[in-house]
Amino acid sequence: GAVVSQHPSWVICKSGTSVKIECRSLDFQATTMFWYRQFPKQSLMLMATSNEGSKATYEQGVEKDKFLINHASLTLSTLTVTSAHPEDSSFYICSAPLRLADEQFFGPGTRLTVL
Amino acid sequence: DAKTTQPTSMDCAEGRAANLPCNHSTISGNEYVYWYRQIHSQGPQYIIHGLKNNETNEMASLIITEDRKSSTLILPHATLRDTAVYYCIAIGGNAGNMLTFGGGTRLMVKP
């Protein structure tokens, strides 16, 4: 199957730091990618839809100025958590469909810990 | 997308079949049933999907009732590595649309 990677796998930072998470489709192109957040023992919650060449679409309650998304190429989407605070500590996961009618492939996730 | 209901948790003995039910009573005619699973601290993994016919692949079988209001994911010979949270999702024909995850079923395979 198609492969989606994320970098870094785990990041620990101080409060107030901005953290960038990369999501790459390694062997296919993705015009659309999705960003999810998962708190401990909870399900995944969609944060935003990343669209190549255009602005991301954010879910209700997700601050677009806090979580900056850039989908600059067909294989890379980045999520930047600006001025991170301890409550932003979570597991961030991206996904991309191989084709619009296919199942989605998920990255391995990035664990963010804000001290 | 139709709402799905799954049991919170299930246990299964290693080597036995694991049958995971899912209710999707409000599913519409063009919505597929997708199953994903998430092993602890990893990204979700696609398992199988179907519309109205039963489906089988190397990982599992999917049985969909004739009225499509419920389905069952079957892992024929569960192993310890199948311990995970299993998510049943009903979505429109375009799976490239966003996925809305419910609580899922936490399957514990025991030796």
Q: Name the pLDDT band for A99 (thresholds 50, 70, 90).
A: confident
Query: How far apart are the C-alpha atoms of B97 and A71, rounded to whole Å?
Result: 17
pLDDT band for B94, please (50, 70, 90 cuts).
low
Q: What contacts B74, CB < 8 A, 6 or more positions away?
A: B17, B18, B19, B20, B60, B61, B62, B63
Answer yes or no: are the C-beta atoms of B81 and B37 closer than 8 Å: no
Mean pLDDT of the A87-110 span: 89
Over range A71-97, report the average pLDDT: 95
Angstrom distance (rounded) from CA B72 to CA A82? 42
Nearest CB among B43, B49, B98 relative to A106 is that of B43
For chain B, the C-alpha Rg in angstroms (whole number) is 13
- Strand duo B9-13 + B105-110: pairing: parallel
Which stretch of A78-92, B39-53, B83-97 has the lowest confidence by average pLDDT?
A: B83-97
pLDDT for residue B2 is more than 80: no
For chain A, the average pLDDT equals 93
The answer to whether the CB of A84 falls within 8 A of the CB of A114 is: yes
| CB–CB contact B96 A99 (8 Å) | yes
Residues of chain A contacting residue B42, judged by C-beta atoms under 8 Å apart:
108-109
Q: Which helix (H) or strand (E) holds B73?
A: strand B70-75
Tens digit of each residue's pLDDT (9 = 90 or more) over A48-65: 999 998 899 999 999 999
Region B25-53 average pLDDT? 92
B38 falls in which pLDDT band (50, 70, 90)?
very high
Q: What is chain B's mean pLDDT, rounded?
A: 92
How many angstroms separate the CA atoms of B20 and B42, rounded? 21
| CB spacing of A103 vs B100 below 8 angstroms | no
User: What is the spatial distance between Cα B66 and Cα B41, in angstroms, rounded to a whole number?
Assistant: 36
Count of positions (residues) in chain B: 111
Of B28, B45, B23, B24, give the one whose Cα is nearest residue B36.
B45
Q: Is A68 exposed, middle or buried (0-12, 13-18, 19+ CB in 10 A)?
A: middle
Interface of A with B (CB under 8 A): 1, 4, 6, 32, 34, 36, 43-46, 49, 91, 93, 95, 97, 99-109, 111
List the single residue in A45, A102, A106 with the smallest CB-CB distance to B95.
Answer: A102
